[in-house]
């Protein structure tokens, strides 16, 4: 009953937070205006800037920020006990994570859908833009290099998940093209697609489907990584309505339906117990079998700061600011939709993280297969997965603990054990794929922004000879900076191919493929190279959140708006990852320096240096920024003058 009360209490807390704190942020602080002209309308190009219903954007945004983050992070963090993990997820997501995502989305909307990295160059200093973009580039490179491995590993661990994940792609394209031409509601065809997916999950271990799934599960990791990255390139360059939006909407329905099943199973297990162990056996009571606190598990790093770094997406993640400002802000068709998309999505992800915690600390206790093939129940089931840090921190263990625990909840409903596990496997793989293709699109934006910065200046005569608009030398290819939709890039610029969406996407995919192709360690196969850089990602990801808070803080400071709700999380999220990165690099027997991992030492030190540099730049700019609006964006093509700045400060 305790487990059930925690789940219901968490859901109630999130509903209250959305309708109180979230509503206050939307109406009183950000003053969302339903009549305001949003970037998706002002810059509508039917590719990246596309006005979209809030339900569809919620699906895209939620599935993009979720991925495997709120699953693998909490699934490991419960090794320190379930109470610290639960408290950080609940209060971190409400007071920090959702504010971060919402703030990034609003600030981007108010700046023509520019990324947080680009906005940093205007609200702080020009140098901070470059520093921020370099950190974004490194973080997204790691994501692209590792997530192909994550998906491939899920496919190998749960072969029945392969066909449902693959068939989702052509179904999404058909829905996207059909809806774009007919303009009808997306819900019905998406529900049909979801039903077809679940049908293929049910029959995934039988007949032709079983042969197909098992054959593809035998592919080498590198083949899967290559195929998935090629898919990411295609998804990155297609208009958002072709694949990104319908696929993410189907995934959001899949997630919500899976969450509903897990909650229903949790309710049944909490009231009458889990599924009987044997056909004539009694139902096992549902109870939390993990310790409330476990401060020093064998081999685990310090609970502070690594609990907060490990959980990441379940409470706050810097990656979310990229989704908010990279794709979602370009699709919002009404400012007031931002509360649901930005704040509501993070609360939903927090609730998912709560269910993951309960699956790992209570669901596992309903029974799992032990390492020797015997059945483990209760506390012994938890110990089988969390005896040591090394065992709990492997990719298979992270995913397996959630899949087995949540599968036990589904079994309490009477679902077949194989079907329940396969359903959760599809759940994990689908969201990892969504994060992968969204990350590739975001990396494309970052590369295009970096390329436009490094591009040499071209004489007006040379531009004119190439039939280019003379303003393109200043505005590049960025439509938010006023570049024309049909701008012809000049061939004299050696960075031209990187400012093109195809060139930038190909560069991102080739770089990620090159890193992934390196074996990730002794005895590992090609395709695991992302594991080499993965130890850097946790701290780097949280550092991005702190830097995004810094940008939002300056945006508010320039408008004389309240800062307390941003400033406190900002300080916390700048200090915490800095400590974690420093410990990883310099302290302990397993530090990068002690183990002689010089690549990680160099990258870790460079990241810390970039962070310190950005903070110094911010401190220098702080006294001069109060109440002074940043320079306005240049006029859009056809505009006589820039849009008026009416948000509270005095113009520069």
Rounded to the nearest integer, the mean pLDDT of the chain is: 85
Q: What is the pLDDT of residue 296?
A: 86
Residues 70/356, Cβ–Cβ less than 8 Å: yes
Specify the DSSP element, H or E, that contains 526: none
Among 5-14, 486-495, 530-539, which stretch is predicted with the lowest mean pLDDT?
486-495
Q: Tens of pLDDT along 593-637?
A: 988 888 899 989 988 888 898 889 899 999 989 889 888 887 776
**12: Cα separation from own chain's centroid:** 24
Q: Tens of pLDDT along 477-504?
A: 555 665 555 454 455 556 777 878 888 9
At residue 599, the 3 state secondary structure works out as helix
**Euclidean distance between CA atoms 146 and 143, whole angstroms:** 5
**Euclidean distance between CA atoms 139 and 145, whole angstroms:** 10
CA angle 204, 412, 292 (to 5 degrees): 110
Token pair recorded at residue 535: 């130890």
Q: Average the pLDDT over 154-159 and give the result.
A: 87
**Euclidean distance between CA atoms 562 and 553, whole angstroms:** 9
| Residue 371 banded pLDDT, cuts 50, 70, 90 | low
What is the number of helices (H) and of strands (E) in the chain?
A: 29, 2
Residues 211/417, Cβ–Cβ less than 8 Å: no
Residues 286/3, Cβ–Cβ less than 8 Å: yes
More confident residue, 373 or 632: 632
Token pair recorded at residue 31: 């003053």
Q: What is the pTM of this model?
A: 0.88
Residues 17/348, Cβ–Cβ less than 8 Å: no
Residues 250/168, Cβ–Cβ less than 8 Å: yes
DSSP state of 314: G
**Euclidean distance between CA atoms 344 and 347, whole angstroms:** 5
More confident residue, 367 or 468: 367
Gyration radius from the chain CA atoms: 24
Q: What is the pLDDT of residue 642?
A: 52
Q: Tens of pLDDT along 404-449?
A: 899 899 999 988 888 888 888 888 888 788 888 888 988 998 888 8
**Euclidean distance between CA atoms 364 and 334, whole angstroms:** 43
Q: Tens of pLDDT along 77-112?
A: 999 999 999 999 999 999 999 999 999 999 999 999
Q: Tens of pLDDT along 174-223?
A: 888 888 777 667 788 888 888 888 888 888 878 888 899 899 999 998 99
Residue 472 has pLDDT above 60, yes or no: no
Among 219-233, 460-474, 479-493, 497-511, which stretch is predicted with the lowest mean pLDDT?
460-474
Residues 290/388, Cβ–Cβ less than 8 Å: no
Residues 397/381, Cβ–Cβ less than 8 Å: no
């Amino acid at each position: 009953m305790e487990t059930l009360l925690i789940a219901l209490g968490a859901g109630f807390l999130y509903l209250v937070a959305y309708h109180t704190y979230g509503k206050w942020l939307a109406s009183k602080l950000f003053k969302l205006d339903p009549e305001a002209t949003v970037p998706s309308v002002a810059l509508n190009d039917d590719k990246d800037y596309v006005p979209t219903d809030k339900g569809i954007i919620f699906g895209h945004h939620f599935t993009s920020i979720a991925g495997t983050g709120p699953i693998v992070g909490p699934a490991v963090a419960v090794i320190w006990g379930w109470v610290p993990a639960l408290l950080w997820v609940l209060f971190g997501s409400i007071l920090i994570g959702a504010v971060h995502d919402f703030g990034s989305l609003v600030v981007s909307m108010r700046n023509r859908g520019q990324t947080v990295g680009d906005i940093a160059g205007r609200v702080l200093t020009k140098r901070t833009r470059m520093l921020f973009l370099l950190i974004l580039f490194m973080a997204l490179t790691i994501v692209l290099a590792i997530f192909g491995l994550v998906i491939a590993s899920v496919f190998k661990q749960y072969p029945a998940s392969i066909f449902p994940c693959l068939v989702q792609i052509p179904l999404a394209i058909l829905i996207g093209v059909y809806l774009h031409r007919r303009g009808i509601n997306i819900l019905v065809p998406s529900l049909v697609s979801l039903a077809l997916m679940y049908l293929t999950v049910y029959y995934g271990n039988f007949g032709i489907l079983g042969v197909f799934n098992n054959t593809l599960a035998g592919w080498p990791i590198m083949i899967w990584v290559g195929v998935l990255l090629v898919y990411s390139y295609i998804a990155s360059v297609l208009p958002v309505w072709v694949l990104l939006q319908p696929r993410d909407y189907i995934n959001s329905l899949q997630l919500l339906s899976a969450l509903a099943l897990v909650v229903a199973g949790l309710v049944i297990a909490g009231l009458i117990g889990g599924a009987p162990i044997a056909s004539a056996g009694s139902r096992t009571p549902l109870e939390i079998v993990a310790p409330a606190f476990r401060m020093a598990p064998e081999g685990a790093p310090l609970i502070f700061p690594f609990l907060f770094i490990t959980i990441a997406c379940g409470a706050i993640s810097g990656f979310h600011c990229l989704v908010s400002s990279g794709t979602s802000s370009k699709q919002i068709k009404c400012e007031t939709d931002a509360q649901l998309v930005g704040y509501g999505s993070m609360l939903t992800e927090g609730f998912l993280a709560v269910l993951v915690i309960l699956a790992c600390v209570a669901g596992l206790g309903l029974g799992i297969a032990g390492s020797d093939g015997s059945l483990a129940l209760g506390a012994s089931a938890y110990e089988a997965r969390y005896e040591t840090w090394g065992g709990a921190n492997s990719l298979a263990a992270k995913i397996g603990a959630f899949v087995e625990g949540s599968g036990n909840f589904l079994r309490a409903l009477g679902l077949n054990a194989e079907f329940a596990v396969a359903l959760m496997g599809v759940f994990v793989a689908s969201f990892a794929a969504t994060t992968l293709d969204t990350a590739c699109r975001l990396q494309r934006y970052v590369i295009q922004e970096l390329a436009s910065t490094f591009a040499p200046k071209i004489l007006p005569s040379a531009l004119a000879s190439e039939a280019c608009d003379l303003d393109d030398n200043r505005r590049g290819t960025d439509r938010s900076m006023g570049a024309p939709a049909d701008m012809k890039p000049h061939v004299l610029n050696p960075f031209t191919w990187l400012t093109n969406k195809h060139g930038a996407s190909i560069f991102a995919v080739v770089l990620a493929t090159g890193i992934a192709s390196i074996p990730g360690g002794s005895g590992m196969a090609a395709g695991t190279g992302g594991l080499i850089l993965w130890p850097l990602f946790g701290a780097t990801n949280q550092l991005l959140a702190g830097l995004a808070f810094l940008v939002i803080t300056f945006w508010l400071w320039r408008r004389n708006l309240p800062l307390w709700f941003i400033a406190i999380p900002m300080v916390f999220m700048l200090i915490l990852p800095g400590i974690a990165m420093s410990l990883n690099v310099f302290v302990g027997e397993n530090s990068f320096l002690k183990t002689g991992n010089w690549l990680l030492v160099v990258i870790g030190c460079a990241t810390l240096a970039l962070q310190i540099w950005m903070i110094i730049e911010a401190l220098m700019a702080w006294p001069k920024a109060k109440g002074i609006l940043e320079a306005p964006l240049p006029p859009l093509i056809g505009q006589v003058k820039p849009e008026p700045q009416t948000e509270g400060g005095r113009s520069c």
